[in-house]
Amino acid sequence: MSSVAVVTGGTRGIGEAISRALKDAGYTVAATYHGNVEKAEAFKAETGIHVYKWDVSHPEECVEGIARVEADLGPVDVLVNNAGITRDGMFHKMTWEQWREVLSTNLDSMFAMTRPVIEGMRERGHGRVINISSINGQKGQMGQANYSAAKAGVIGFTKALAQENARKGITVNAICPGYINTDMVAAMPEKVLESIISTIPAGRLGHPEEIGGLSVYLASDAAAFMTGAVLTINGAQYIANG
């Protein structure tokens, strides 16, 4: 029986690429989504990947959702916490709603999704948790105080959880993508996109498949000694200390 991987926000963008890469590597993948039912069903029809609808910012939905996945597919061996949203705005104009929506989806979801699977991983003596942070969680970004705070929190969560679970055969790592060529980024005005690319030494946007490939490695037995790592994949746009 193949290992089961859950990818939140797994039917679009970076999450879609991670779901596809894990499936190609032999995992049984469950991709969660929240909004676009039509897109999710089309993704399922094309790939054969199982899709499940719930809101990762609501702990009770996550508990119920994980229970459905495990009843259908088996115990969760790999969790990719990828789901995220933006509600950009300068902080002096930012509303509480903008702040809370982003923190709930991007950071509270770390608890809501990981808590229902971590005990099972500990009991089995094996597990992989892969958290998708961001370049902006490392360096900050004007107009994204909420997003940067949440993604920085993901890094702290990753490091703490890695230390708690290393002796139980569980690895916990974070990936910090830079600007990746997803539909959201491609929809930016051409001049804005050109300006962003001009700051990337590699001279291009990243490909979603590159995040997918790194996720497959982190999920594999080859990465069993890598835990608590914060991995940048941004074309040298930002080089973190250490």
CATH of the domain at 115: 3.40.50.720
Domain count, the chain: 1
Per-residue confidence (pLDDT) for residue 5, from 0 to 100: 98
pLDDT 10s digits, 48-87: 999 999 999 999 999 999 999 999 999 999 999 999 999 9
- Element spanning 28, H or E: strand 28-33
Q: Are 53 and 30 spatial neighbours (Cβ–Cβ below 8 Å)?
A: no
Q: Are 120 and 78 spatial neighbours (Cβ–Cβ below 8 Å)?
A: no
Per-residue confidence (pLDDT) for residue 242, from 0 to 100: 52
- Whether 185 maps to a domain, the answer reads no
What is the rounded average pLDDT of the residues 161-171?
98
Per DSSP, the three-state class of 186 is helix
Residue 173, Cα to own-chain centre: how many angstroms? Answer: 11
Where b means 16+ CB within 10 Å and e means fewer, 30-49 reads bbbbbeeeeebeebeeebeb
pLDDT 10s digits, 19-53: 999 999 999 999 999 988 999 999 999 999 999 99
Per-residue confidence (pLDDT) for residue 185, from 0 to 100: 85
- Whether 173 maps to a domain, the answer reads yes
Domain housing 125: 4-180+208-233
- Whether 101 maps to a domain, the answer reads yes
Mean pLDDT score of the chain:
96
- Whether 201 maps to a domain, the answer reads no
Active-site residue identified among 52, 147, 179, 238: 147
- Whether 28 maps to a domain, the answer reads yes
Query: Is 147 designated active site?
Result: yes
Numbers of helices and strands, H then E, in the chain: 10, 7
DSSP 220: S
Q: In this predicted structure, which of 10-14, 68-72, 238-242 has the lowest mean pLDDT?
A: 238-242
List the Cα angle 131/132/137 in 5-degree steps: 110
Per DSSP, the three-state class of 5 is strand
Per-residue confidence (pLDDT) for residue 186, from 0 to 100: 82
Q: How many whole angstroms separate alpha carbon 202 and alpha carbon 150?
A: 27
- Whether 238 maps to a domain, the answer reads no
Lateral strand order in the sheet of 230-233:
50-53, 28-33, 4-7, 76-81, 127-132, 170-177, 230-233
pLDDT 10s digits, 118-142: 999 999 999 999 999 999 999 999 9
- Whether 189 maps to a domain, the answer reads no
- Whether 164 maps to a domain, the answer reads yes
Q: Where are the alpha helices (DSSP H) in the chain?
A: 13-24, 37-47, 59-73, 96-103, 109-124, 135-139, 145-165, 183-186, 190-197, 208-219
Q: How many whole angstroms separate alpha carbon 14 and alpha carbon 85?
A: 12
